[in-house]
Structure 1
Amino acid sequence: MLRTIATSQLCAGMYVHRLLGPWLRHPFWRVSFLADDDTVQRLAASTVEQLVIDTDRGADLGQDEAAGALAAAETAESAESAARPSRPARSSPEASADLDSEIARARRICLDGRDAVSAMFREARLGRSVDLQAALPLLEDITGSVMRNPVALVSVARLKTADDYTYLHSVAVSALMAMLARQLGLSEAQTLEAATGGLLHDMGKAAVPLPILNKPGKLTEEEFTVVRRHPEEGARLLRAGGVGNHAVLDVAMHHHEKLDGSGYPTALAGEEIPLLARMGAICDVYDAITSNRPYKQGWDPGESLRRMASWKGHFDPLLLKAFVRSLGIYPLGTLVRLESDRLAVVVEQRPASLLAPKVRAFHSVRAREQILLQDIDLASPGCQDRVVGIESPHEWGFRNLEKLWMP
């Protein structure tokens, strides 16, 4: 029998079926567990006010306490229902932030995130249980940033160095997952699950020897076999660390599955692949191919989206379209050629007009020389210019283009 009780009524020996309230505020990552003295104390010190116990799997309240718990639960439910209509929507103007200010926050999040994820990998490599509680503040920062401005953090996180790739890749995929969940209109709980799955999706790489993980050249067949085991290793590590959320585990286990069934580790196909894992496949690949890694230079973000769209059978096409809508056809930082024979970098998206972003022109194609910077809103009524193609910064010999769009 399931019974809702106040946290103050919890005793050692009771079986916790579910913690009530926002998942991010819970002091545990496990879905359910048998309470001991330590967990009772941790919950008493937390912000969780109520929880559900399973009396068939653990101790129950006394008769008088049970009656009181039932009345308290009904009162709390009525109060919550009454308060719910006044809750602001996630897309409220108060939650938004301009790009420049959010990029400044994103830089700090990336620094903190690199350290947090590095610590989790280090603990796992030493055979210790990963302290997943330490990731909660980072997840708050990531989801908060994406809610304020969906592209700032994902754009900054893309600019990782090859040395930081393993750790900042997890931060970037977490932000991309939250961004895509926001675009799809998923619930707050699902958005948090998506961000968490993205942050933890590659934990299995902690079981991959560093010489293989950081190898600058092509992997041998034996080395690739070792790498291909990381989804299963990741799911195992997360379960051992107390993660019981199935959606989060799905992302770790199945983010390398493909829609046509040619992926790994279980060759799932179509909707056999859980939703968050299909989202994870898109976010993981996008960040991987746009980042500099030990063995390759990252591709331009706009070119990356074009190539991903050409890989038939790889991604869920509807999810990929939503992903493009959230990033823009020409993502922030994309190098484009204008009809006026100038090169420009995308500095701002226009959600209402994906083909006409705001750009910063800086180079003349005809003269093959730099020109005075000029910001051009291609969506403005009087603008006579337009994007005619995506260019490769590497082919033009441009480095550090982010200096043109980062404040």
Structure 2
Amino acid sequence: MLKRIAVTDLCQGMFIHEFCGSWMEHPFWKAKFLLSSAKDLQRILDSGIEEVWIDSSQGLDVPDGSASLSPAEVAAEVEQLLVDGEKNKPVSASLEDEVKRAQKLCARSKEAVVAMFGEVRMGHAIDAERVTELVEEISESVSRNPDAMISLARLKTSNEYTYMHSVAVCALMIALARQLELSEEQVRDAGMAGLLHDIGKMMIPDAILNKPGKLSDAEFKTIRDHPMAGWTLIKDNRSINAIVLDVCLHHHEKVDGSGYPHHLVGDQISLFAKMGAVCDVYDAITSNRPYKNGWDPAESIRKMAEWSKGHFDQVVFQAFVKSVGIYPTGSLVRLESGRLGVVMEQHETSLLTPRVKVFFMAKSKTPIAQQIIDLSKLVGREKIVGRESPEDWNFPRLEELWSGLPSKNGSYFG
């Protein structure tokens, strides 16, 4: 049986099913393993992870009376957290139209970020004017239809992750800033902060960044040093303002003080750094990496909600959910009718009634004629009853259904 427990209740002999935290918060290659050594237990306790899922059918159980939550209890807790408030995201272009523009913008953005990061590696200063122009282009696309740019930027191969992650977090920060009703100047600052938040990773060898196996303690420390390294790289650039510097330095802080590098607590963390923390984690866990495939978007939102009380600011996380949806574009969902579909586009005011392209019947396991349905017009007759894993159904190219774009060598970005 799966149970969620505090790491302080862990002991040798328990089977760890999953860590309740971002992949970059712990030094372990695999999330599922039998905890058999005191050294690994101590590494978990030192990592900042607060909770884990254990499988009592494969290892020791928690003692009677110890606090634990079953999957059903966690699901109820998360559902209450997510379904709160209304979405407010006007669009001026259809997903289909904006995807075509966003595809070209993603390719240009990747080239620009590769060039910019390359200049940083050679010791050159960042061209802030060039960064601003790129942020403006991304901002315009997000204004027309946030789902297109945000979802396309998520579809990256593991070897282009470092660059496209910056583009994706830029788009997410812009959408979140607008959801929080910040000024246009602050929206631009948020976008620039997203684009440059991981600049410190340029100082980390590719062999560590792209290592497919378990990181050593020294390698894990090197990864965790990237916020300070990034801040050091750009702190003397007069064209980069304090907001960008702050997000670069503090996007791995957590509201409970367990983050890094300064273990800030609550309101010691700025609004923009709190925004950066949410956007960074979402794109990281939805993206394929050398050591792990990305989670489905809807599953990622669900996981983040499980961690959110200690990890993220609640107001910021709620706003983020409203900006991308409980079932973000690209999510595989099951409808009450038994049909499977991929989420195409969010509804302007309802988190639970997106447009969905149905294409498969779950019970008979057979394809059906593809059809786009608007769940907001079918209230009481059809609804989403759950998330599904594309891997469980062997749908490896699900993105083609919602984007309409054939992949090229596994990547949409040339």
Q: TM-score normalised to the size of structure 1?
A: 0.75
Quick check: 1:145 aligned with 2:141?
yes
Task: Provide structure 1 residue ranges, at least 5 long, that are not aligned to the other structure.
Answer: 1-90
The amino acid of 2:272's aligned partner reads L
Measure how far apart 1:133 and its partner are.
2.8
Measure, in 1, the Cα distance between the counterparts of 2:319 and 2:126.
Answer: 33
Partner of 1:313: 310
1:176-187 aligned within 5 A: 176-187=172-183
Name the stretch that deviates more: 233-242 or 321-330: 233-242
- Secondary structure at the aligned position of 1:344 is classed as strand
Partner of 2:101: 105
Measure, in 2, the Cα distance between the counterparts of 1:145 and 1:120.
Answer: 21
CA contact (8 A) 2:286 2:295 kept: yes
The amino acid of 1:275's aligned partner reads L
Sequence identity percentage: 54
Partner of 1:328: 325
CA offset digits 1:64-115 (Å, max 9, x no partner): xxxxxxxxxxxxxxxxxxxxxxxxxxx998x822221111111111111111
- Secondary structure at the aligned position of 2:227 is classed as helix
- Secondary structure at the aligned position of 1:174 is classed as helix
CA contact (8 A) 2:166 2:196 kept: yes
Measure, in 2, the Cα distance between the counterparts of 1:244 and 1:124.
Answer: 14
The amino acid of 1:303's aligned partner reads E
Name the stretch that deviates more: 207-216 or 282-291: 207-216
**1:253 equivalent among 219, 237, 249:** 249
**Structure with larger Rg:** 1
Q: TM-score normalised to the size of structure 2?
A: 0.74
Partner of 1:361: 358
**1:291 equivalent among 281, 287, 290:** 287
Measure how far apart 1:351 and its partner are.
2.2
Measure, in 2, the Cα distance between the counterparts of 1:178 and 1:212.
Answer: 30
Partner of 1:346: 343
**2:278 equivalent among 282, 288, 301:** 282
**1:225 equivalent among 221, 230, 236:** 221
Measure, in 2, the Cα distance between the counterparts of 1:187 and 1:358.
Answer: 30
Task: Provide structure 2 residue ranges, at least 5 long, that are not aligned to the other structure.
Answer: 1-87, 405-414
CA contact (8 A) 2:132 2:192 kept: no
Q: RMSD of the alignment, in Å?
A: 1.6
- Secondary structure at the aligned position of 2:344 is classed as strand
CA contact (8 A) 1:257 1:273 kept: yes
Measure how far apart 1:243 and its partner are.
4.0
CA contact (8 A) 2:89 2:348 kept: no
Distance 1:185 1:382, change over 3 A: closer
CA contact (8 A) 1:102 1:152 kept: yes
CA contact (8 A) 1:109 1:138 kept: no
The amino acid of 2:327's aligned partner reads Y
Name the stretch that deviates more: 298-307 or 365-374: 365-374
Measure how far apart 1:327 and its partner are.
0.8
Partner of 1:239: 235
- Secondary structure at the aligned position of 1:292 is classed as coil
The amino acid of 2:314's aligned partner reads P
Measure, in 2, the Cα distance between the counterparts of 1:382 and 1:151.
Answer: 23
- Secondary structure at the aligned position of 1:195 is classed as helix
Distance 1:337 1:232, change over 3 A: same
Measure how far apart 1:236 and its partner are.
1.1
Measure, in 2, the Cα distance between the counterparts of 1:222 and 1:382.
Answer: 54
Partner of 2:162: 166
Measure, in 1, the Cα distance between the counterparts of 2:368 and 2:240.
Answer: 56
Measure, in 2, the Cα distance between the counterparts of 1:246 and 1:162.
Answer: 31
CA contact (8 A) 1:204 1:231 kept: yes
CA contact (8 A) 2:253 2:262 kept: yes
Distance 1:220 1:243, change over 3 A: farther
Distance 1:380 1:242, change over 3 A: same
The amino acid of 1:130's aligned partner reads I
Measure, in 2, the Cα distance between the counterparts of 1:301 and 1:250.
Answer: 27
Measure, in 2, the Cα distance between the counterparts of 1:243 and 1:232.
Answer: 19
CA contact (8 A) 1:291 1:297 kept: yes
Name the stretch that deviates more: 256-265 or 372-381: 372-381
CA contact (8 A) 1:131 1:241 kept: no
Measure how far apart 1:238 and its partner are.
1.2
Measure, in 2, the Cα distance between the counterparts of 1:143 and 1:348.
Answer: 18
Distance 1:289 1:382, change over 3 A: closer
Measure how far apart 1:379 and its partner are.
1.3
Measure, in 1, the Cα distance between the counterparts of 2:378 and 2:221.
Answer: 55
- Secondary structure at the aligned position of 1:185 is classed as coil
CA contact (8 A) 1:377 1:383 kept: no
CA contact (8 A) 2:298 2:328 kept: yes
Quick check: 1:404 aligned with 2:401?
yes
The amino acid of 1:158's aligned partner reads R
CA contact (8 A) 1:129 1:240 kept: no
CA contact (8 A) 2:135 2:191 kept: yes
Measure how far apart 1:364 and its partner are.
1.0
Partner of 1:188: 184
Aligned residue-pair number: 316
Measure how far apart 1:244 and its partner are.
4.0
The amino acid of 2:201's aligned partner reads K
CA contact (8 A) 1:197 1:249 kept: yes
- Secondary structure at the aligned position of 2:372 is classed as strand
Partner of 2:119: 123
Partner of 1:380: 377
- Secondary structure at the aligned position of 1:164 is classed as helix
Partner of 1:17: none
Partner of 2:83: none
Q: Which runs of 4+ in 1 moved over 3 A?
A: 240-244
Partner of 2:21: none
Distance 1:92 1:379, change over 3 A: closer
CA offset digits 1:194-217 (Å, max 9, x no partner): 000000000000111111111111
